A and B are shown apart, each in its own frame.
Chain A
Amino acid sequence: MTLVSRFGTLLGLGVIVAVFSVLSPHGFAQGSNLINITQQMSLLAIVALGAAFVMSLSEFDLSIGAVVSMAGIVSVTLFGSGWGILATVIITLGAGFAVGCISGFFVAIWRVPSFIMTLAMGTIVGGMTFWVSGGATLFSNIPVGFRDIGRGYVGGIPVLTLWAVAGTLFVAFILDWTELGRRILAIGGNREAARLAGVGVVPATVWAFGLCTLMAALAGLLLTARLGSAHPTGGNGFLLQAYAAAYLGMTAFRDGQPNAAGTLLGAAIIAVVANGLTILGVPNYLQDIFTGLIIIASVMVRNFGRAAD
């Protein structure tokens, strides 16, 4: 694999940053704005890093947006009934993990297409979230100590940025340094070959889906901590952007395989484009169009790269 195909996407980010810096030297290129971008991209990065697990399996999980919303509502509801911070965080993450495990179980055992299964799970989770919250934004009884996990700075770096870095290291560790990660990637590459080589397809699949929604639940907690409130559909917008970031990530560093560092890079590209265009005063609808075009371009670059192999 050539240097260009390995680092082309990183180079792309550099070009985008350079263009915005030239167009807006005093708005975009300020150090404070760049640090701000790392904070803006962090939640998206965490959701996308979760999606990288299921993309490594060559599957999809469409429930992640609903799980982000669910985590917020569940945590605020638990705080409201007097639960402590640690217990609330553990229960919320556990609930997120469980959603993915259920999807993974159906996908692995009954070969339900993951697209359909997780669409259904996302709909169910969304309905339950709405039910629990009564459709309202919840913001009472959130402890200050909990809010601190999603706001403020440590050593001049936003806390959320540190979470994104930690998430990247976690996903990189699971995918590249654990047997589970290697098995997930092998199943994604050739399910039958992995099965015949003795890989337990069912447990690995359940784990991958569970870790995916666990990351989404973490993002939901951080979102709630940052905003100080939870809305029953507040996380739904993450779904498509997360896959866009993860897909962009597959074009970077590894030969078309989902990977943690690439996913972080993908989230960065999306965040930089959104931030830069906002600063230049480009309307929102044009931002969406740009983001879509960038995704198409990245897919084509990847396919050309493969054809050249």
Chain B
Amino acid sequence: MLEVEGVTKRFGGVVALDGVSLRAAAGRVHALLGENGAGKSTLLKCLSGVHRPDGGGMALSGQGFAPANPTESEQAGLRFVHQELNLVPGFTAYENAFVGRPYPRRGGVIDWATMRSRFKAVRDRHGLDLDIDVPVARLSVAKCQIVEILRALMDEARVLVLDEPTASLSEREAATLHGIIRQLASHGCVVILVSHRLDEVFAIADDYTVLRNGCTVGSGQVCDIDRSGVVALMAGGAFDLERVAAPAAAGAPLLHPPLLHPPLLHPPLLQLSGFSPSPVRDGLDLSVHAGEIVGLYGVVGSGRSSLLKSIWGANPLARGGLTLDRKQLPPAGISRRIREGVAYVPEDRRGRGLVMQHSILDNVLLPRLPLYRAMRRLPVVSWQLARRGVRKLLGDRSVKYGRLGDRISTLSGGNQQKIMIGRWVGPSCRLFLLDEPTRGVDVRSKAEIHALCRRLAGEGTAVLFVTSDIEELVMLAQRILVMAHGRITLDAANRDLSRQDIVHAAFETTKELT
């Protein structure tokens, strides 16, 4: 029995968990549900000892449980299987199982026979079908997932936490894994399942807990609730109109920005037909019109970021038709997109957006070097022109900075984000692709970025943005697209949609009449 009672966790001024409670019983599968950012990951990190809760308590079989680090959590019998595989590809299953665990020894050297037989015993105890003698690189993703689970079960496990275990599996592989999960629970283990697939939850979970904005908003037995009920809990009941209407009175835009161009009157600026980020996925169709702000929503792993990146031409595996202003473009190739006036701002500023150890000046210039040539035909930088241009650009975006030569890492996240977007703004820009444009950004910068998007759209630029933040989606987008499992499950004008419609589509459940 794992009990979590009133756990709170703050990061600076942000409340990530605000009194979360959860009771998971041994021998049962407990589903932990919630939208992006509801607090699931933070709760798991409290359980695994990565974070220490600021308040509340946890107990395991009636004994207080407060792990100070991941080792203590593991010693208490908690095991975590994450969505991403953490296996050494060249090692066999049993070699992988002993990574980070003391090797059995005989005469000072590793005892390979005992190693293999101990792992084999665990496999057989759970009755799993797995070849343990080949490198895991030759196993399917589903089998690798099984290796991960077996690795977690090498020692006595009291709680097994599975974070999106089937996100990258096919339906059939997922079904196999479902059987295994049920079986693990029947061995008397507490199984906690984090999943974005509601069909999976209803197929194998016994109990559920739903988090929203860091609070537990519902829990009980799965047989007592239906999908609509779960979706309603995740999305929140009636949408809080007052909260959004307040800034509207102060001159901010309306809750549901109207469609500017009725699609039938203008041909779309961007048109995807049978376009797919990878050859193994089905192609999808999508269109974006000039002057339109389109929001692309979906849960983590739904394929929205990879779609946006593929539209940008950064994915050599992309297939299918992509036309920009009726001109056919190859499925991959970034420089062509830039010439056609497309701009892209990736998520993950530090990893993929900026060169953190370089100066503000260098980072702003990078995509636009040819604009600041000393002579038009020579690729030689005029630093005088560049400094002047960059100062103006930063001034226009109200970026606060010391000197242009300072490292960009000295700026706040909001200012960095304004630079990432602002460096593309120019008269030739026709389509902006923004991935999580306001993640990790302060409220003021967020408002400025939203205002910039609206201004760009007002000038006829199309904006296609990906967000995990449903508030942002509803505030900014004129039209909303929702993706789930690599497909577009909803495409409609914002004003025609309710929040629940969006969540339904993101979790790919059909709306049931209640």
In the bound assembly, the distance between CA atoms of A78 and B312 in angstroms comes to: 50
Given B335, B352, B354, which contacts A198 in the complex, CB threshold below 8 Å? B335
Q: Does residue B355 face the partner (Cβ distance < 8 Å to A)? A: yes
Residues 29-81 (chain A) with a chain B CB within 8 angstroms: none
A195 to chain B, nearest CB (A): 7
- Contacting pair A178 B380 (CB below 8 A): yes
Q: Is B353 an interface residue (CB 8 A)?
A: yes
Which A228-277 residues have a C-beta within 8 angstroms of B?
Answer: 255-257
Residue A148 at the chain B interface, CB threshold 8 Å: no
Contact residues of B between 353 and 399, Cβ < 8 Å to A? 353-358, 362, 365-367, 369-370, 373, 379-381, 383
Contact stretch, chosen from A121-129, A181-189, A216-224, A286-294: A181-189
| B354/A190 in contact, CB under 8 A | yes
In Å, the complex CA distance between A69 and B451 comes to 61
Determine if A3 is an interface residue (Cβ-Cβ < 8 Å).
Answer: no
Q: Report Cα–Cα, A229/B58, bound state, in Å.
A: 80
Minimum Cβ distance to chain B for residue A206 (Å): 16
A198-216 Cβ-contact flags toward B at 8 Å (1 or 0): 1110000000000000000
Given A176, A182, A192, A255, which contacts B357 in the complex, CB threshold below 8 Å? A255
Cβ-defined partner of B366 (8 Å) among A199, A200, A256: A199
Q: Is the CB of B346 closer than 8 A to any CB of chain A?
A: yes
- Is A308's beta carbon under 8 Å from chain B? no
Chain B residues within an 8 Å CB radius of A194: 355, 366
* Contact between chains at B358 and A185 (CB < 8 Å): yes
Q: How far is the CA of A257 from the CA of B334 in the complex (A)?
A: 27
Judge whether A200 and B355 touch: CB under 8 Å.
Answer: no
C-alpha gap A179/B367 in the complex (Å): 10
Q: Are A189 and B344 in contact (CB under 8 A)?
A: no
Please measure, in the bound complex, the distance between the C-alpha atom of A196 and the C-alpha atom of B366, giving whole angstroms.
Answer: 11
Within 8 Å of chain B (Cβ to Cβ): is A110? no
- Is the CB–CB distance between A190 and B335 below 8 Å? no
Q: Which residues of B contact A180 (CB under 8 A)?
A: 379
Q: How far is it, in angstroms, between the C-alpha of A195 and the C-alpha of B355 when the chains are bound?
A: 11
- A177, A182, A196, A309: the one contacting B362 at CB < 8 Å is A182
> Residues of A within 8 Å of B, CB-based: how many?
24
User: CB distance B366 to A178 under 8 Å?
Assistant: no
Decide yes or no whether B107 CB sits under 8 A from chain A.
no
Question: Among B346, B356, B365, B383, which residue has its beta carbon within 8 angstroms of that of A196?
Answer: B346
B260 in contact (CB, < 8 A): no
Contact check, A196 vs B355: say whether CB atoms are below 8 A apart: no
Closest to B335 in A: A198
Residues from chain A with a CB closer than 8 A to the CB of B362 are 182, 185-186
- Residue numbers in B under 8 Å from A178 (CB-CB): 379-381
User: Does A19 have its Cβ within 8 Å of any Cβ on chain B?
Assistant: no
CB-based nearest B residue for A306? B357
Q: Check: A279 CB closer than 8 A to any chain B CB.
A: no
Q: Is A154 an interface residue (CB 8 A)?
A: no
Is A255 in contact with B407, judged by CB distance below 8 angstroms? yes
Number of A-B contacts (CB under 8 A): 71
Are B379 and A193 in contact (CB-based, < 8 A)? Answer: no
Q: Which residues of A contact B379 (CB under 8 A)?
A: 178-180
Partner of B314, one of A186, A195, A309: A195
Instruction: Kindly list chain A residues whose C-beta atoms are within 8 Å of the C-beta of B312.
Output: 196
Contact of B381 among A179, A195, A255 (CB under 8 A): A179
In the complex, chain A residues 125-184 whose Cβ is within 8 Å of any chain B Cβ: 176-180, 182-183
Report yes or no: A179 in contact with B369, Cβ–Cβ below 8 A.
Answer: yes
Please tell me if B351 contacts chain A, counting CB pairs below 8 Å. Answer: yes
Q: Are A182 and B353 in contact (CB under 8 A)?
A: no
CB-CB under 8 A for A189 and B357, given A195-B334, A196-B314: yes
The answer to whether A197 has its CB under 8 Å from any CB of chain B is yes
- Contacts known (A190-B354, A194-B355, A255-B357); A200 close to B335, Cβ less than 8 A: yes
**Does B338 sit within 8 A of A, measured CB to CB?**
yes
Q: Find chain A residues with CB under 8 A from B346 CB.
A: 193, 196
A197, B335: Cβ atoms closer than 8 Å: no
Chain A contacts for B407, CB-based, 8 A: 255, 309
Most buried by B among A177, A186, A193, A309: A193
Most buried by A among B351, B358, B367: B358
A256 to B356, CA, bound (A): 13
Q: Are B352 and A186 in contact (CB under 8 A)?
A: no
> Whole-angstrom distance between the alpha carbons of A28 and B67 in the complex?
65
Q: If the complex has contacts A189-B358, A194-B355, A196-B344, are A182 and B365 also in contact, measured as CB distance less than 8 A?
A: yes
Is B354 touching A193 in the complex (CB atoms < 8 A)? yes
B353 pairs with A193, CB closer than 8 A: yes
Q: In the assembly, what is the distance between CA of A190 and CA of B362, in Å?
A: 12
Minimal beta-carbon separation of B432 from chain A (angstroms): 14
Q: How far is the CA of A193 from the CA of B380 in the complex (A)?
A: 22
Q: Quick one: closest A residue to B381, CB to CB?
A: A177
23 intermolecular pairs with C-beta atoms under 8 Å apart: A177-B383, A178-B379, A178-B381, A179-B373, A179-B379, A182-B362, A182-B365, A182-B369, A189-B356, A189-B357, A190-B352, A190-B355, A193-B346, A193-B352, A193-B353, A194-B355, A196-B344, A196-B346, A196-B353, A198-B335, A198-B338, A198-B367, A309-B407
Residues of chain A whose beta carbon lies under 8 Å from any beta carbon of chain B: 176-180, 182-183, 185-186, 189-190, 192-200, 255-257, 309
Q: What 6 pairs across the A-B complex have the smallest Cβ distances?
A: A189-B355, A179-B379, A197-B367, A190-B355, A179-B369, A198-B338
Knowing that A182-B366, A309-B407 touch, tell me 12 more A-B residue pairs with CB under 8 angstroms: A176-B381, A178-B381, A180-B379, A183-B369, A190-B352, A190-B355, A190-B356, A192-B352, A193-B352, A196-B309, A198-B338, A199-B367
